[in-house]
């Protein structure tokens, strides 16, 4: 059995999602809805409640704003786990590299990403994103996106309640999976449509910084023999941009610009970013 666990912003899930799951999963399942309409639980708490209630051999954590396009996806996910006993966590988007620098799984070069999803954007644009599956239907990763997380229940992995809020639970479960000596993978055999995109606001920024600090002894991560030495600089540039967009505090912008400068003191490609940061810093009254 597959236990589908959903933390709902309402006391139920949309009928269209419930019907979609029933019509596409093709496998014995249960749907466990954690009512978080009153915002009483963090995502970590809600998912752990779902784990306790679950009866399935496999757990599937999903957002409540998706639809499945793949028929018999339940059988496919169980077959992936059965055929690959070394894997404990499967997603539909992720990366095979994670730096020490606070960043999302997507804050890396495209060559490290594996993605198979139909994504809706606030502009109204809809993109079928397919990336990284030239040689295989299952790519090893070190972190996957939380929109779809399939977990082998026998790992006995739970979400860490020392972490709070609604961000980085996917980072959390990835680290916990690796602690159990299981691999993490991204598959292109399951296609979902996601009708929203994460809000990279200041709350997300604070969460990603705290989570990286919490797991600093486990970072960086890579499926390769060694991590790309340019990866940290790449992530730093993305982090500085996140700070500027979310209007993060000036000390943080100054700190990360300083780190980037010492990593790449002669890089002309950073000049425009430093200019943007300087304009931002000057906007604060002295």
Nearest to 223 by CA among 35, 86, 47: 86
| Dihedral over Cα of 64, 69, 71, 76: its sign | negative
Polymer length of the chain: 286
Question: Is pLDDT of 248 > 80?
Answer: no
Per-residue burial over 121-137, b if 16 or more Cβ lie within 10 Å, else e, is: eeeeeeeeeebbbeeee
**What angle, rounded to 10 degrees, do the helices at 231-245 and 271-282 form?**
30
The pLDDT of residue 88 is 98
The pLDDT of residue 284 is 67
Query: Tokens 């020490």 identify what position?
Result: 100
Q: What is the largest CA-CA distance in the chain?
A: 63
Q: What is the mean pLDDT of residues 198-213?
A: 90
For residues 41 and 49, give the distance between their C-alpha atoms in angstroms, rounded to a whole number.
Answer: 10
Of 9-18, 56-65, 221-230, the poorest mean pLDDT is in 221-230
Q: What is the mean pLDDT of residues 73-99?
A: 97
The pLDDT of residue 285 is 57
Contact 34, 52 (CB under 8 A): no
* Predicted confidence (pLDDT) per residue in 159-185, tens digit: 999 999 999 999 999 999 999 999 999
In DSSP notation, 169-213 reads HHHHHHHHHHHTT-EEEEESS--EEE-------HHHHHHHHHHHH
The pLDDT of residue 249 is 73
Domains and CATH numbers, the chain: 2-222 (3.90.550.10), 231-282 (no CATH)
Share of the chain above pLDDT 90, in %: 75
Question: Is pLDDT of 286 > 80?
Answer: no
Q: What is the mean pLDDT of residues 55-82?
A: 97
Query: What tokens does 228 get?
Result: 């790309």
């Amino acid at each position: 059995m597959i236990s589908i666990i959903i933390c709902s912003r309402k006391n139920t899930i949309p009928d269209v999602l419930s019907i979609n799951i029933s019509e596409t999963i093709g496998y014995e399942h249960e749907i466990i809805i954690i009512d978080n309409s009153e915002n009483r639980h963090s995502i970590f708490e809600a998912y752990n409640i779902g784990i306790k209630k679950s009866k399935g051999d496999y757990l599937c954590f999903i957002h409540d704003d998706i639809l499945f396009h793949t028929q018999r996806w339940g059988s496919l996910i169980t077959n992936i786990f059965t055929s690959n006993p070394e894997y404990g966590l499967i997603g539909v988007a992720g990366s095979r590299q994670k730096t020490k620098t606070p960043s999302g799984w997507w804050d890396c070069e495209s060559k490290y990403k594996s993605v198979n999803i139909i994504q809706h954007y606030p502009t109204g644009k809809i993109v079928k994103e397919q990336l990284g599956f030239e040689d295989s239907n299952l790519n090893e990763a070190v972190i996957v996106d939380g929109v779809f997380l399939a977990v082998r229940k026998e790992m006995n992995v739970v979400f860490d309640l020392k972490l709070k809020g609604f961000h980085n639970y996917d980072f959390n479960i990835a680290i916990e999976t690796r602690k159990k000596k299981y691999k993490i993978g991204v598959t292109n055999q399951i296609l979902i449509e996601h009708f929203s995109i994460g809000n990279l606001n200041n709350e997300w920024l604070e969460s990603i910084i705290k989570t990286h600090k919490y797991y600093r002894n486990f970072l960086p991560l890579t499926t390769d023999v060694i991590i790309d030495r340019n990866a940290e600089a790449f992530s730093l540039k993305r982090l500085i941009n996140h700070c500027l967009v979310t209007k993060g505090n000036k000390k943080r912008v100054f700190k990360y610009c300083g780190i980037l400068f010492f990593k790449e003191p002669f890089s002309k490609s950073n000049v425009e970013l430093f200019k943007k940061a300087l304009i931002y810093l000057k906007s604060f009254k002295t």
